[in-house]
Structure 1
Amino acid sequence: MNNNELKRLLQANIITEDTAERIREYYRDNKRQSRFTLSAVFAIFASVFVSMGIILIIAHNWDELPKLLKIVFAFVPLLTAQSLCLYTLIRNRDSIAWKEGSATFLFFSLGACMALISQIYHIPGDLAEFVFTWMIFCLPAIYIMNSSVLSILYLAGITWYAAETGYWSSTSGSALWYWLLLILAIPHYYLLLHKHPESNFTIYHNWVVPLSVTAVLGTLSASFPELMYVAYMSLFGVFYLGGQSSFFSSSKRRNNGYLILGALGTVSLLLSLSFEWFWKKLPAKDFDLSSLLISQEFLFALVLSCVALLFLYQSNRLKIQRIKPLDGIFLVFIVVFMIGAYSMISMILINIILLLIGMMTIWEGVRSDHLGILNYGVLIIAALTLCRFFDTDLSFVIRGMLFIVVGAAIFILNTWMLKKRI
């Protein structure tokens, strides 16, 4: 709002001079905050490009340099980054641009220094060990610099380490160190949620953390990979219920990565299990009960299920929200999974569950007058219909009729909702 508009409102006696001054102050604060944010973004990108530029220049002439000069070039960017961080802590502690920019420069210069020294002295080790050491050295800087960008880079780094160890390495393991490294980064994230719940850095963490955990959980699969379906379903239940907690009650839906990933993950997993391939294989699995109960898959599935159950109890005890369609699906799935070890009826139950979720989600969208939720429910039913299109012996006429019904339902429901708003 510009000054001319404020003057017109004052002349029309719509607002008082005191209200006009508060409006001016509000917009001045917003502009100031926008400048700070832009400064931080430019500082971060500048640090990244400077770091990459230095690495490329050195790499171009690397083979021609003497050993001593190589060592100097390895440490100069790191020492420069440390000096900038020290200057920031002493003279510009309150500047977001300086904090985030110098911390980002430190992150990349440290990795470059480690890589160069390893190459110069031919230090043995694989990529996972290198990334692990790099992240360990970067961890204290998150708290010293109070840097959220460094925290995000650290989360990306430990995810890379876990994937390298658990998925891509020739001697794949479960990357259990990842979980300790993740816990060590949680205090910074917790402070962000409490002090700056609506900041961009908090929103980025709300997406990066659940995406990282989702990507890494699969590394736990070893002797009983079937149990990972229970673990993932409970994990998505934790995300979905946690996304409805008081921490995120004031957040916009698109900023709530836990809620969105929990909902999409639950439905996607159910859709993948609505086919018969999994349930045909499950009864034939020879489960050794004593080995199963001490397996890491069972342990993590049990822990995640208990956490999800605690969230479900807490949310309903405090009456944070009405029961939503996906609230207790993780519990229902555990029962269906156990039935599936003995009968193919579980495949039918999964399809019925998906249909009910779609219908309940549509009703939730109608009740709350939310087009996004309504269309999400319709899309669930449409996705289920599409899955059955490739999985049944129905004639093309009947399949075509099903798609016509779904398309008509989308049009009718959206038109009805829009008319209600007029």
Structure 2
Amino acid sequence: MSSKLQSDIKELVKHKVISQDVAFKIENYYQSKEPQTSNRLFTVFAVLGSTLVGLGLILILAHNWDHFSRTIKTAFAFLPLVIGQFFVGYSILRRKSETWKEASGAFLFFAVGASMALVSQIYNIPGDLSSYLLTWVLLCLPLIYLLKSNALALLHLIFITCYACSLGYFTSSKTPWLYLVGLGLYLPYYIKLGKGKNISSVLNWLTPLSLVIVLGAFIDHDEQTGFLMYVVLFGLLYNIGRMPFYANEKLRRNGYLIIGSLGTVCMLLTASFKWFWEGFFSQGYNFESQEFVITLIFFIAASGLLVNSIIKKGVSNVNLFQVSFICFTILFYLGLVDGSIAVILDNLFVLALGVMAVKIGADRYHLGVLNYGLLIITALITCRFFDTDISFVFRGLLFVCVGVGFFLTNYIMLKKRKNNETPKI
């Protein structure tokens, strides 16, 4: 407990604001919280320490590797694996603390990868990076549930994403279907984590971010449907973020909501240009592609969440971001018939999203949401700066008006918030 807090408590007792018994209870309460904080910090440093030790040993061995015989090389290849298994077994059998399990699990995770790489190099076993990463991740997957390790869950998500990127973007440009298997095996642990924890907040950002990064690897040849696939994915993520489990979290912990919202706005701004509709549909449309099937699955899932939200909260609590994937899907197929109408409607819809965000921010006295809406409107005006034939004087006046709008809106909001916080006598 901090010395400042202790002095404050003594001052309150001295001036008879609280009794000595209450002061004793307050001190005990804060002292009981301190070990938890220190344990969490110790766990983080233990994981980092074990990771650095493992990487350091690998570098030392790599420096002298050519001087060893094949037998010694093989022994060294399996040595980190044996050490890691020993510490993991010791942590489980002795029922050691969470710190022990997290640190030993992280060490064993990297030991498995190092042993695989060394054995492959010693005996010249062929293979590519994507298959190596997939084998590594799947071998270590049971450790997540065996140790109930948050660090291993985080590492699993990162490396399964690396596998999908390696296979889909770099190695062979194949569709990484096994990424879905790895993600599905990780989800039960992620769901059981609950909310309010630091690691769950991190995973609330990394899980949707992983989906966004990897989804491009599922685009084969149908790029235009791939664009729609991304818009529907962002709609799905936003509706996940609006579920009660995530909606009750602080906004900074709700990665689904923020990534879904930002992604939707970016995609719709991209589609607000004329060249988008002229170039994308010049070669027709394919309703039998894998992109169309994936988009349909995302659309059904997002629609299910939207209907569930309407049933539980009512239509009045549904905002435009939740239905944006439906609106853009209609615009998308309308663009097959007439791209000029789709451009106009897309611009109007982006403007409506910005106005709605401003209104939500004003109603909730939330400056972040308010400025987000203003930024959407500013981004739309900036986009029109490049593809409309209007004078520079008018363009300059438009930006001046937007800047003044930013200042006045924030000034009025801060003034209202101050008036609401001021106690009435």
Partner residue in 2 for 1:336: 331
Structure-2 separation of matches of 1:297 and 1:278: 18
Q: Tell me, yes or no, if structure 1 residue 419 matches structure 2 residue 394.
A: no
Q: Structure 1 counterpart of 2:370, which letter? A: L
Structure-2 separation of matches of 1:268 and 1:82: 46
Partner residue in 2 for 1:204: 202
Partner residue in 2 for 1:241: 239
Structure-2 separation of matches of 1:19 and 1:259: 42
Q: Which among 369, 394, 397 is matched to residue 365 of structure 2?
A: 369
**1:283 Cα deviation after fit:** 3.5
Q: Structure 2 counterpart of 1:363, which letter? A: K
Partner residue in 2 for 1:166: 168
Q: Which among 13, 24, 39 is matched to residue 42 of structure 2?
A: 39
Deviates more, 1:18-27 or 1:222-231: 18-27
Partner residue in 1 for 2:290: 296
Deviates more, 1:314-323 or 1:374-383: 314-323
Partner residue in 2 for 1:10: 13
Structure-2 separation of matches of 1:276 and 1:143: 51
Deviates more, 1:382-391 or 1:351-360: 382-391
Structure-1 separation of matches of 2:313 and 2:27: 39
Structure-2 separation of matches of 1:283 and 1:162: 28
- Counterpart of 1:213 in 2: which secondary structure? helix
Partner residue in 2 for 1:323: 318
**1:13 Cα deviation after fit:** 4.1
Structure-1 separation of matches of 2:60 and 2:19: 61
| Aligned pairs (5 A) from 1:114-153 | 114-153=116-155
Q: Is the 8 A contact 1:92 1:98 kept in 2?
A: no
Q: Which among 20, 23, 29 is matched to residue 20 of structure 1?
A: 23
Structure-1 separation of matches of 2:283 and 2:26: 67
**1:158 Cα deviation after fit:** 0.8
- The Cα offsets for residues 295-348 of structure 1, whole Å up to 9 and x where unpaired, read as 221111011111111111111211188222311111100100010111121111
Q: Is the 8 A contact 2:43 2:103 kept in 1?
A: yes
Partner residue in 1 for 2:93: 90
- Counterpart of 2:18 in 1: which secondary structure? coil
**1:49 Cα deviation after fit:** 0.8
- Counterpart of 2:193 in 1: which secondary structure? helix
Structure 1 residues 32 and 267: alpha-carbon distance in aligned structure 2, compared to 1, 3 A threshold: same
Structure-1 separation of matches of 2:305 and 2:24: 45
Structure-1 separation of matches of 2:246 and 2:285: 40
**1:9 Cα deviation after fit:** 2.3
- The Cα offsets for residues 199-226 of structure 1, whole Å up to 9 and x where unpaired, read as 1111111111101111111111113221
Partner residue in 2 for 1:272: 270
Q: Is the 8 A contact 2:168 2:217 kept in 1?
A: yes
Partner residue in 1 for 2:176: 175
Partner residue in 1 for 2:113: 111
- Alignment RMSD (CA, Å): 1.5
- Counterpart of 1:274 in 2: which secondary structure? coil
Structure-2 separation of matches of 1:24 and 1:223: 65
Structure 1 residues 400 and 16: alpha-carbon distance in aligned structure 2, compared to 1, 3 A threshold: same
**1:365 Cα deviation after fit:** 0.7
Structure-2 separation of matches of 1:17 and 1:263: 51
What are the ranges of 5 or more consecutive residues in structure 1 without an aligned counterpart? Answer: none
**1:85 Cα deviation after fit:** 0.7
Structure-2 separation of matches of 1:109 and 1:385: 53
Structure-2 separation of matches of 1:244 and 1:217: 22
- The Cα offsets for residues 360-387 of structure 1, whole Å up to 9 and x where unpaired, read as 1101111111111100000001111111
**1:17 Cα deviation after fit:** 4.7
**1:286 Cα deviation after fit:** 2.2
Structure-2 separation of matches of 1:22 and 1:388: 62
Deviates more, 1:42-51 or 1:221-230: 221-230
- Counterpart of 1:103 in 2: which secondary structure? helix
Structure-2 separation of matches of 1:153 and 1:96: 17
Partner residue in 2 for 1:346: 342
Structure-1 separation of matches of 2:248 and 2:8: 30
What are the ranges of 5 or more consecutive residues in structure 2 without an aligned counterpart? Answer: 419-425
**1:16 Cα deviation after fit:** 4.4
Structure-1 separation of matches of 2:35 and 2:272: 52
Q: Is the 8 A contact 2:224 2:281 kept in 1?
A: no
Deviates more, 1:336-345 or 1:246-255: 246-255
Structure-2 separation of matches of 1:331 and 1:389: 28
Partner residue in 1 for 2:74: 71
Deviates more, 1:275-284 or 1:295-304: 275-284
Partner residue in 2 for 1:281: 279
Structure-1 separation of matches of 2:51 and 2:162: 19
Structure-2 separation of matches of 1:21 and 1:270: 58
Structure 1 residues 393 and 29: alpha-carbon distance in aligned structure 2, compared to 1, 3 A threshold: farther
- Counterpart of 1:393 in 2: which secondary structure? coil
Structure-2 separation of matches of 1:25 and 1:396: 67
- Counterpart of 2:365 in 1: which secondary structure? coil
Q: How many residues align?
A: 413
Structure-1 separation of matches of 2:293 and 2:21: 61
- Counterpart of 2:140 in 1: which secondary structure? helix
Partner residue in 1 for 2:299: 305
Q: Structure 2 counterpart of 1:313, which letter? A: V
